Each structure stands twice: as structure tokens, then as C-alpha cells.
Structure 1
Amino acid sequence: MNPLDPNAAMNWLAVYPEILLLTMTCVIALVDLFDKSPRRTVSYVLSLLTLGAVALLHLLYLQGGFTLYAMQGMVVADPMGHLLALFAALAVAVTLVYARPYAESRDLLKGELFTLALFALLGISVMISANNFLVVYLGLELMSLSLYAMVALRRDHAQSTEAAMKYFVLGALASGFLLYGLSMMYGATGSLEIAEVYKAIGGGQLNKSVLVFGIVFVVAGLAFKLGLVPFHMWVPDVYHGAPTAVTLMIAGAPKLAAFAVTIRLLVEGMLGLAVDWQQMLIVISVASMTLGNLAAIAQTNLKRMLAYSAIAQLGFMLLGLTPTVVFGNTYSAANGYSSSMFYLLTYVITTLATFGVIMVLSRQGFEADEITDLRGLNQRSRWMSAVMAICMFSLAGIPPTVGFYAKLAVLQSIVSTNSPFYIGLAVVAVLLSLVGAFYYLRVVKTMYFDAPAGDEPLIETPTGVRVLLSFNGAAVLVLGLMPGALMAACADAIRIALST
């Protein structure tokens, strides 16, 4: 490749954030060999500086508003990708800040925690910017293998080892589904490039049955990565068995990558088959909301409850992707996609604060993962109970938190189709959300109205964690009062992605 070629310069420009992330991850892995501090201060600071620099790069690219196709069309750098990658980098940074005291008390604060988290983020970034089936799969495997290893970091803990094995086996099965589906799409269209697949499907001179069969496997693989019914079996066990710091790593940024790949594959590549795949998404969405909300009611373990909650929440998010073709047109599609994107971003913000509180409450030899562990929390720490209550209200969709506006945006996107079917779907979603409100409000009731166990120790919170958790909780509230800027950014990102 000629370095003076302008196309070569564009190739490098499109992947600067990924190059920086890969380089610094390797540097941190080497530096950690000489970092003998039990708190891994050098590795920790370098990781946060790297994540900050990557987030800043994506922010600058996002403000530029341009779209670049690079590496022979295999990579796309557009506002949607930069916005999702920006939030993914911030989510990993916040996770590491919350995780440090928790991991230190459990002998988990090792270089592997930082390097695996950064490699997982690199896989997420590759998935988000993929414009080729092979690049999608490359990013997916890099992210997945890093997360499998993180779940198994507590090698002497039987529950964590079991969770890692379940995650690995089921994850490999889902990767096989996705790869088989993509291979069928390649066989039918003759191309691995998403744009070329779109053109081939639009041409109509293809075997429709092969395409639809391929779509089934692709949707199955994507549903697993999002943790949706009927591919949700791993979610409760992995959330429960993994160390809470790793649970947060799985619950946050990877969901953004799965959303990006869903848009890239189904919308940008297979829009011509939308009538087929949107029916599948409707069934998966309603099934996820129903099972997630009903199963969460029966849970006494807080992490398992949040796992089933995640299934229901992501099922609700999926609603926004369903009104792609209504009455034979795609007028409602962009509104639904941007609403789903806003919903997912705000869900990740809320999830970060929720698991942050759980990690602060956990101490040496004790995991605060039962709902009863929150008894009388308001009497022990008004600040922490307030943050947790805000998160629960947001997940339940109660104003003025951002969860209310996010749910409203998704419902508005499907009701505005004026289709009796979608209006009925909105009613079902509202009713299932009311069911979900029960178990969220039960947590609030436990914190504020149940008596504490008695000899509970004082809650010691490092200053950095306390400040960040305060900002995190405030963001859930402030974004509910002023959601306009983030909603506009999501709408612009989707509009540009669909127009290019």
C-alpha cells in the first residue's frame, strides 16, 4: 500500500481509535508485568487514560458527522458507530472504576482484568464498525472470548467456573448459528460486503427460500448476543455466577455492539427481507418481555432478577426495530431505530449505576446479591439508597427518570404507524411494563421500609467511586428531564447511517 495514496490515508483515519486501543492494550499487558503494586495503580491509570483517549477520538469523529468506508469497504466509520463506540468506551471505563475496590478485596485485581476488558472493547469496536460479514464475526469472537475468560477469572470459585462453561458452550453454539446464517447469505448473494448483499437482495433474482432460511440463523445468533427469548438461557446463570464486576462488563457495552450489528446486518444489508425478519423480531420481543417480567417476579437473588429484567428491557428495545415495513412503506423505520438506540444507551447508563451500588455494598467474603441484603439501606446510607431508587424507577419507566422517556419514545415510534396491530402491540408492552414495575418497586420498598438486619457494618466507599456513582445516578435523572440532545444525536446518527 502506497502511504502517499489518499485512499490509504482514509483507511488509517477510519480505524485510528481501534489502532490506539490495540496498541495501548498491548502496552498495558507488558507494563503490568512490572507493576508489583497490589492495587495495580499503573495499569489502572493507563487503562482509564486509554479509554478516555478512545472516547475523545470517537467524540471528535462524531462531531465531524462524516462517513468513511475503509479497508476495501470492510470497515465503515459513521456517526452511529462513533456514538455507540463512545458510549461503549465510557461504559468500560465506568465499569473499571466501580470494579477496582470490589476486585481488590477478592484477589481479582490483576493485569488480566484490564487487558481482557480492553480486548473485549476492541472486539466491540470492530463489531460496531464492521461492513463485512467476516469483520462482524472477527469482532464477535474477540469480544466473546475475552468475556468468557473474564467470567472464569475466579478460578477457585465453582459457581464462576460453571457460569463460564455455560457461557462458553452456549456462546459457541450461537456463534455457529450466526456464522451458518451468514454463510447462507453469502452463498445466495455471492458477496461478504453488506452493501453488496443489499444490492443483490434488491435485485430480486435470488432464491428467496435460501435467504429466509439464512435470516433465521442470523436472527438466532443476534438474539443470543442480546440475551433474548428463546436464546436467553445463559443470562441468569452467567449474571449470577460471574463476579459482579464481570457481570457489569457483560451487561453494558456488549449490548451496544449487538445493537450495531443488528442494524448493520438486518437494516443496512437485508432491508429487502424486512417483511420476514420483522415478524421474527415481533415474536422475540413479546416473548422476551413476557418471560423476563414474569420470571423476575419470582427471583430473590438481585443479580438474577436484574438478568431477567435485562431480557425484558431488551425485548422492549427490540420493539423499535419492528415497524420497518408498515403498509408497504418504510416511513416509520428511522423513528423506530433511533428510539431503540436511545433506549439502549439509557439502559446501559442505568445498569452501570445499579451494579455500581451492588459492588459498593459487597465486601470481603460477602456478596450483596440478595434483595434482602438491601434491607434498611436508607438508614445506613441515604445517598446510596437514593441512587439505587432512581435506577429502579428508571428501569420501571417512572417519570421523571430517563427510563420513562425512553419507553415513551419506543411506544410513540410504533403507535405513530397508525397500524391497529402495532397499537395493540404497544398496549401489550405497556401492560407487561406494569408487571415489571412490581419487582423494581419491591427493591425500593426493601431499602426504605424494611428494618436493617442489625449488625451491618458501615459502608466504606472510595472517593472516586462515590463521585462517579453520584454523577451516574444524576445522569439517569437529568437525561429524563432533558433528553433532547441525546435523542437528536441518535436520530441524526440513524438518518446518516440509512442515507449512506
Structure 2
Amino acid sequence: MTTFQPPVIDWAALTPVLVIVGAGVLGVLVAAFAPAARRRSIQVVVALLAPLAALGAVAWRWSEVVGGGESTFVAGQLAEDGFGLAAQMILLVIALVGFAVLASRLPGGEDAFTPQGASAPGSAYEEAARKAGLEQTEVYPLALFSLAGMLVFTMANDLLVLFVALEVLSLPLYVLTALARRRRVLSQEAALKYFLLGAFSSAIFLFGVALLFGYSASLTYADIGTAATASVGMDGMAVVGLLMVLTGLLFKVGAVPFHAWVPDVYQGAPTPVTGFMAAATKTAAFAAIARLLYVAAPGFAWDVEPALWVVAIASMLVGTVLAIVQTDIKRTLAYSSVAHAGFALVAIVSLPEGGPDALLFYLLAYSFATVGAFAVVTLVRERDDAGNVTGEATHLSQWAGLGRRSPVLAAAMALFLLSFAGIPLTAGFLGKFTAFVAAADGGAWPLVAVAVLASIAAAFFYVRVIVLMFFTRPEESDEPQRQRAQAVAPGALTRVALVVCAAGTLVLGVWPTPVLDLLAQAARFVV
């Protein structure tokens, strides 16, 4: 008779995840039982305190793991190591500033979310919900559950756990995308596209998992890597399986040719959700890609690397070219994120030794600029004939002269755009420099050359926005609504988020050594 052996679970290693999941469950209870008048304020406090508490837990685990050299497996399926903890730290910092923007309101008290997500756009029911002052406070537990999936994503050492984490982080984002207060049809269309394409990518991911299981008789990364040296005659199955799994992950980072959802979703989603999604999802997915490549795929490097080269080059070129021709600021930033997916992929495509820490630094620099840029977008608004603040002014022509009307806000946006462009003394420059050096050390000189050329070309559309803000007067136009665009005063939470993002962008650009040293210690994988 076989005796059941319970799994040995190191619950301490799961502390950051448990904190965020517990906060998400508490948020659901608050949405169900708290008085309506206090519901939102409680949700905001929970959403902001949870990442802070989880950061404390990560710091504790860092001292145990990196300081004590005691990396461990959790039930054999989750790896607690320096790389995973560093990625979790970045995700929690993103969550703090992202949730602050998520919770902000306009001067009139309006937030970014529809008062009733289930109502049809433009219906009498929606109007009644708006007049009644209803608020969609469920966005906070949804964001927390998505964050929990991202934290697990960075630790996953097993393909089945990776898939579960993928769905946990994705499903709340599908819902959040559909909850924009304005342009409701566009928001719901974006959510539907995101959901359908996400379902296809998940199906491809699962097919790849099945092939890798058939190849190695295991779902853990280490066993798949070991099978590469022990199995004969089945390499084709393994390579196809790896490429299909990577397809599911590359979809989440918006790399070409899996980027079709990015511009529509970034444009249609509530802008605070776009900022959080653009930074956090990319960070979590790239952490998962790095662990998969470095632990499970070294034996297939010669087969997988050419495909990754193609994806990286296509992402940099397609993202750059299409960003140049955009007239909407959110779509411009969307195609910019596609190009940045290619730049980040450069750091690890040839599996160099310094690739993981270069990737993490790049993601941290990119995340500060991304959340900050979208926070600025939430504040540039149109006004109607009565002077009331209405929707976001996303057409580029509406940004003309913003530097004269709101110099501080325009300066912050210029800083984030310069960081995207990789201008010296910004975090983006050091991020690209470390990524390109890691790739060159791995022998990927041609890829670095393409990346440098793409960076030079990409600087055009970033500088174009800066020129519009500071050196262009608002044009006389037959579209008077576009002339009324102006920045509104940021709320306290948005102001804090902007200060943190701007400070992070500057400090990492001027004095990156402590962070680089910290990440160099962390970039070790449990095998």
C-alpha cells in the first residue's frame, strides 16, 4: 500500500505572495461588506499597504537567500533565489507607484473607471449610476490578484505553475481593460481583443507544455534541461515545444509578431491600468523568459537563439517605425513598448553571463519611465465649452504648448521620454548600455548594432513630443476642442508617483552603481 507523502512547502518563501493574495481577498470582502461611503478609501489603503508589506517580506527573504546563500525550492515547483526576489522587488515598487496613480482623482472627484462596469456604454443605466455617484472599487482587488500572479511568475520553476500564474495575472487585466470611464466602446473592444488573443496565446503555450512533457517526462525546468543531454532523436519535439511556450510569454511582453493587441489595449484601457500593465506585465514576463532560457533551454540554444534574434530585431524595427507615424500619444507609447521589448530581449538572447542582471536593471529603468509617462497622460485633459474637464487629450496636436501652460508637468514628461530614448544621465541610457554590453559579451554584436540604429531612429518620436510641448505654439485649427487641452492639477497620490518615477529615472541615470551591484548579486538561478 502506497503511503501518501505530503509536499514539503517552505511557507516563508511564499510570504510576499501570501501578503498580496491576502490583501486581494480582504479587498473582495471590503467590496462586499464595507459601507459604501468608506469602501473606496479602505480599498486604497489596503492596495497601497499590501505592496509595502510585501516589500518588507522580500527584504527579509533577501537577507536569508542572497545574504545567507540558502536558495530553495518550494514544493519543487517554485524557486526562491536572488533573481526571483530582485524581480519581485521591482514588481512591488511598480505596484506602489502604479496603484497610487490608479487611486488618483481629478480635481472634480472623478476617477478613471466607469461607475458600473456591467452597464452598456451610453445607456440610461450607466447615466443613472454616474449620477448616483457609484464607484467601481473592485479594481483594487483585481489589481492585487494580478500582482500576485506576477510574483509567482518570477518564481515559477515548473511549466504547470507557470501557466497557472500566467492566467492569474492575465484574467484581472482583461477585466480592468474594459472599465474605462470614457470611450467605453473603445475600452470594451480593447478588452475583447486582449482576451481573445490571450486565449490563443495560452492555447499555444499549453501545446508547447504538452510537447515538452512528452520529451522529458517532466514539467520542471531542471529536468527539461537535463533531458537535453540524455535524450536522442527527439530534439525537434523539444525545440518546437520551447518555441510554443516562448510564444505565450512573448505575447505578454508585446514582442513582434505577437504584438497586435498592444496599441489597441494601451489606447482603450483606463490610462492608470495601461501604465501598471505596461510596466509590471513586461517585468514579470521577462523574468519568466529569462528563467526558462537559462535553466531549461541551454541545451537547445543553437536551435532557439535564431528565432529569438528574429523576434528581437523585428520588435525593435517594427515598434520604432510604427511609433513614428502615430498621432495618438497612447499609441505612440504602445509601439514604443514594442520596441523596448526588443531592446530588453537583446540582453538575454545569447544567454550571456551578465544577461539576467542587465535585464533586471533595464526593466527597472523602463518601468519608472513608463508609469510616470502614463501618469502624465492622465493629467492632460480636454475642456468643454462650459470649462468642465472631460476626457484625456491624447492627440499629439493637443500637446502643443504644454510646456508654457504646465512647465513642471511637461518637464517630467520630457524626462521620461528622454529616458525612453536612452539619453545620457537618465536611467534609460544605463539600461540600454548594460543590455547591449551583456549582448556583446555573449557574441551578439550584429544584434547590438541593429539595436543601436533602432535607438537612434526611435529618438525621433520622443523628441517630437518634447518639441511639441516646449517649442510649438497651439496651431489654429478647425477642431476647437483640441485647442482647449490643458493639464489639470495632480492629486496627492499622482504627485507622489510622479516624484518617485522622476527621482528613480534621474538617480539610476546618475548613480546606478548600488543598484547594479545589488542586481549582480541577485542574478543567480536555482538549478
Q: For residues 413-460 of structure 1, what are the alpha-carbon distances to aligned partners after superposition, in whole Å with 9 as ceiling and x for unaligned?
A: 22334x4xx323222211111110000000100110112476555622
- Tell me whether 1:174 sits opposite 2:216 in the alignment: no
Partner of 2:51: 51
Q: Residues of 1 paired with 2:7 and 2:83: CA distance?
A: 22
Partner of 1:80: 83
- Tell me whether 1:104 sits opposite 2:126 in the alignment: no
Partner of 1:328: none
Partner of 2:431: 406
Name the SS of the counterpart of 2:10 in structure 1.
helix
Q: Residues of 1 paired with 2:236 and 2:103: CA distance?
A: 51
Contact kept? 1:189, 1:206, Cα under 8 Å: no
Name the SS of the counterpart of 2:37 in structure 1.
coil
Report the TM-score, using the length of structure 2 for normalisation. Answer: 0.87
Q: For residues 197-248 of structure 1, what are the alpha-carbon distances to aligned partners after superposition, in whole Å with 9 as ceiling and x for unaligned?
A: 2222232445111111212212221211110011110001111111112211
Partner of 2:455: 433
Contact kept? 1:188, 1:206, Cα under 8 Å: no
The more displaced of 433-442 and 249-258 is 249-258
The more displaced of 91-100 and 153-162 is 153-162
Q: Residues of 2 paired with 1:67 and 1:297: CA distance?
A: 48
Q: Residues of 2 paired with 1:141 and 1:346: CA distance?
A: 26
1:59 Cα deviation from its structure 2 partner? 2.1
Q: Residues of 2 paired with 1:136 and 1:63: CA distance?
A: 26
Q: Residues of 2 paired with 1:245 and 1:470: CA distance?
A: 16
Partner of 1:127: 153
1:32 Cα deviation from its structure 2 partner? 2.6
Runs (5+) with no aligned partner, structure 2: 116-134, 383-388, 475-481
Equivalent position amino acid for 2:152 in 1: V
Partner of 1:30: 29
- Tell me whether 1:393 sits opposite 2:418 in the alignment: yes
1:256 Cα deviation from its structure 2 partner? 1.4
Contact kept? 2:366, 2:420, Cα under 8 Å: yes
Contact kept? 2:112, 2:272, Cα under 8 Å: no
- Tell me whether 1:479 sits opposite 2:504 in the alignment: no
1:70 Cα deviation from its structure 2 partner? 4.0
Match of 2:495 among 448, 453, 466: 466
Contact kept? 1:198, 1:268, Cα under 8 Å: yes
Q: Residues of 1 paired with 2:396 and 2:91: CA distance?
A: 28
Q: For residues 160-192 of structure 1, what are the alpha-carbon distances to aligned partners after superposition, in whole Å with 9 as ceiling and x for unaligned?
A: 111011000000000111111111001100001
Change (3 A) 1:460 1:411: same
Runs (5+) with no aligned partner, structure 1: 325-332
Partner of 1:18: 17
Q: For residues 56-87 of structure 1, what are the alpha-carbon distances to aligned partners after superposition, in whole Å with 9 as ceiling and x for unaligned?
A: 21122223314543442011111111111122
Partner of 1:202: 229
Contact kept? 1:131, 1:193, Cα under 8 Å: yes
1:105 Cα deviation from its structure 2 partner? 5.6
Q: Residues of 1 paired with 2:221 and 2:77: CA distance?
A: 9
Partner of 1:255: 282
Contact kept? 2:255, 2:338, Cα under 8 Å: yes
Contact kept? 2:13, 2:61, Cα under 8 Å: no
The more displaced of 199-208 and 73-82 is 199-208
Name the SS of the counterpart of 1:252 in structure 2.
helix
Partner of 2:465: 443
* Superposed counterparts of 1:25-424, under 5 Å: 25-33=24-32, 34-37=34-37, 40-64=40-64, 65=66, 66-102=69-105, 104=111, 106-107=113-114, 109-154=135-180, 157-205=184-232, 207-324=234-351, 333-362=352-381, 364-417=389-442, 419=443, 422-424=444-446
1:45 Cα deviation from its structure 2 partner? 0.6
Contact kept? 1:278, 1:321, Cα under 8 Å: no
Equivalent position amino acid for 1:210 in 2: M
Contact kept? 1:252, 1:352, Cα under 8 Å: yes
Contact kept? 1:133, 1:193, Cα under 8 Å: yes
RMSD after superposition: 2.1
Q: For residues 265-299 of structure 1, what are the alpha-carbon distances to aligned partners after superposition, in whole Å with 9 as ceiling and x for unaligned?
A: 22211211111111111110000101000000000
**Identical aligned pairs, as a percentage?**
34
The more displaced of 461-470 and 380-389 is 461-470
Change (3 A) 1:67 1:387: farther
Return the structure number with greater relative CO, CA threshold 8 A, min gap 6.
2
Equivalent position amino acid for 2:42 in 1: V
Equivalent position amino acid for 1:431 in 2: L
Change (3 A) 1:38 1:442: farther
Q: Residues of 1 paired with 2:35 and 2:380: CA distance?
A: 28
Greater share of helix: 1
Contact kept? 1:350, 1:473, Cα under 8 Å: yes
Name the SS of the counterpart of 1:405 in structure 2.
helix
Task: Provide the aligned length of Structure 1 versus Structure 2.
Answer: 482
Change (3 A) 1:302 1:165: same
Change (3 A) 1:67 1:7: farther
Q: Residues of 2 paired with 1:457 and 1:406: CA distance?
A: 32
The more displaced of 34-43 and 207-216 is 34-43
1:111 Cα deviation from its structure 2 partner? 2.1
